[in-house]
């Protein structure tokens, strides 16, 4: 979706890159397997997605500025008219949206584990190595299963102060 990769293309998946530290945290090299539907523990169940989608339907569509003002405690009626009228979807449209939203790039890592596009930044080996040359950047290898566990539990044991990170070098 929105890229020119073909199943079988060699790619590298990274969690993040810190230009100040010249450090890139790498999930691994692998093969782009195409667009597929991740398991529920990665993307959420259909029911969770439907609840989330329906919670936004039928509500006024405020601008980002209006939302910020409302979130800061201003009365919604004092921020002006919404940018658009509330929108509604039929049950069929909700199902179609959920089907499309579940599709994600699947990357089979060389270690046999799978990482999904929603979990990382990824690109061709050439592009990633060009952007983050190993002789200029420190590459830190991470295990996707450990990253997922840390994301579920919040890291709590690094100096960054941001729960859910995987900052093993802080």
pLDDT reported for residue 114 = 97
Domain that holds residue 115: 10-41+104-143
Query: Does one domain contain both 49 and 80?
Result: yes
pLDDT reported for residue 157 = 43
Predicted TM-score (pTM) above 0.75: no
Give CA–CA dist 6/18, Å, rounded.
29
**Number of domains the chain contains:** 2
Sequence-separated (6 or more) residues with CB below 8 Å from residue 53: 89, 94, 97, 98
- Whether 62 contacts 79, CB under 8 Å: yes
Query: Does one domain contain both 52 and 94?
Result: yes
Q: What are the average pLDDT values for consecutive 10-residue runs of the chain, which has 170 residues?
A: 85 95 97 91 75 72 79 82 74 83 92 94 96 96 92 60 46
């Amino acid at each position: 979706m929105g890229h020119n990769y073909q199943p079988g293309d060699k790619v590298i998946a990274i969690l993040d890159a810190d230009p100040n530290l010249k450090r890139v945290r790498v999930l691994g090299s692998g093969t782009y397997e195409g667009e597929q539907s991740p398991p529920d523990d990665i993307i959420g169940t259909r029911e969770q997605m439907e609840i989330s989608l329906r919670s936004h339907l039928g509500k006024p569509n405020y601008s980002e500025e209006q939302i910020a003002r409302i979130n800061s405690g201003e009365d919604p009626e004092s921020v002006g008219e919404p940018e658009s009228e509330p929108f509604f979807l039929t049950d069929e449209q909700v199902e179609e949206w959920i089907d499309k939203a579940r599709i994600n790039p699947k990357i089979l890592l060389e270690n046999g584990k799978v990482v999904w596009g929603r979990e990382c930044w990824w690109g061709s080996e050439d592009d990633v190595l060009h952007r983050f040359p190993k002789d200029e950047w420190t590459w830190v290898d991470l295990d996707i299963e450990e990253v997922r566990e840390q994301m579920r539990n919040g890291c709590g044991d690094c100096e960054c102060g941001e729960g859910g990170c995987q900052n093993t070098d802080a």
